[in-house]
Structure 1
Amino acid sequence: MAKRTKKVFTMQVYPDQVAEYIRRHNPVWPEMATMLKEHGVHNYSMFLAEDGVTLFGYAEIESEEKWAAVADTDVCKKWWDSMAPLMRTNEDNSPESKDLREIFYLA
């Protein structure tokens, strides 16, 4: 198995949209899940912090290049458009996201 890199980030959901955000992820669109797997994304999880608005994302990725290419897919753009009313986004409807740097790991 190829070595995977961890991708960890935060995003912000609007407080009055948390329930809808959760509903739309259970389950995520099948075509979205397939596309992510095809782009080398594994073990992708989202968590909601106790503040009720901060989302914490974790994914294992095969490469930064494949991860970046997700944004160019039609299904991703459609997903972003559908999620934009629920969370803070950039002008292209991509979620505002802040990468987190790993500082400790215990295997």
Structure 2
Amino acid sequence: METVAFRMTLKPGMREEYEKRHRELWPELADALHAAGIRDYRIFLDESTGHLFAIQQRTDTHTTHALATLPVMRKWWDSMAELMETHAERGDSAPVAVPLVPVFHLP
């Protein structure tokens, strides 16, 4: 298993709606994430900045690079675009996700 982390940004005032949509995560999206090898996916919010910190475990044979080509992923991103910073300048609703570099681990 590999652990990856990244940062996204929630627009001001969108916390409740963001949490609601994730509580109601589409089963077909959850299935796609699992099929791509994602395990134990968590997202945390820094309320002072609106930054979302995401961490996930990925199997050694993950196919997360292919998620962006799936219609269900594109549909999810489109539905979330009003809540988050996205790549709208390139005509894409994918969230801006900044990879985070691991600097410490206590097993």
Q: How high is the TM-score relative to the length of structure 1?
A: 0.90
- TM superposition shift of 1:50: 2.9
Hey, what does 1:100 align to over in structure 2?
100
Measured in 2, the distance between the counterparts of 1:70 and 1:32 equals 10
Measured in 1, the distance between the counterparts of 2:67 and 2:58 equals 11
1:12-42 Cα distance to aligned partner (Å, 9 max, x none):
0111211111110003111110000000000
Call closer, same or farther: CA 1:79–1:63 in 2, change over 3 Å: farther
Identity of aligned residues (%): 36
Measured in 1, the distance between the counterparts of 2:23 and 2:35 equals 20
Hey, what does 2:35 align to over in structure 1?
38
Question: Structure 2 unaligned runs (5+)?
Answer: none
Measured in 2, the distance between the counterparts of 1:64 and 1:56 equals 24
AA of the residue aligned to 2:22: H
- Are residues 1:24 and 2:21 paired? yes
Q: Is the 8 A contact 1:18 1:52 kept in 2?
A: no
Measured in 2, the distance between the counterparts of 1:69 and 1:77 equals 11
Question: Structure 1 unaligned runs (5+)?
Answer: none
AA of the residue aligned to 1:61: R
AA of the residue aligned to 1:11: M
- Are residues 1:56 and 2:50 paired? no
Hey, what does 2:74 align to over in structure 1?
77
AA of the residue aligned to 2:24: P
- Structural RMSD (CA): 1.4
- How many residues are aligned here? 104
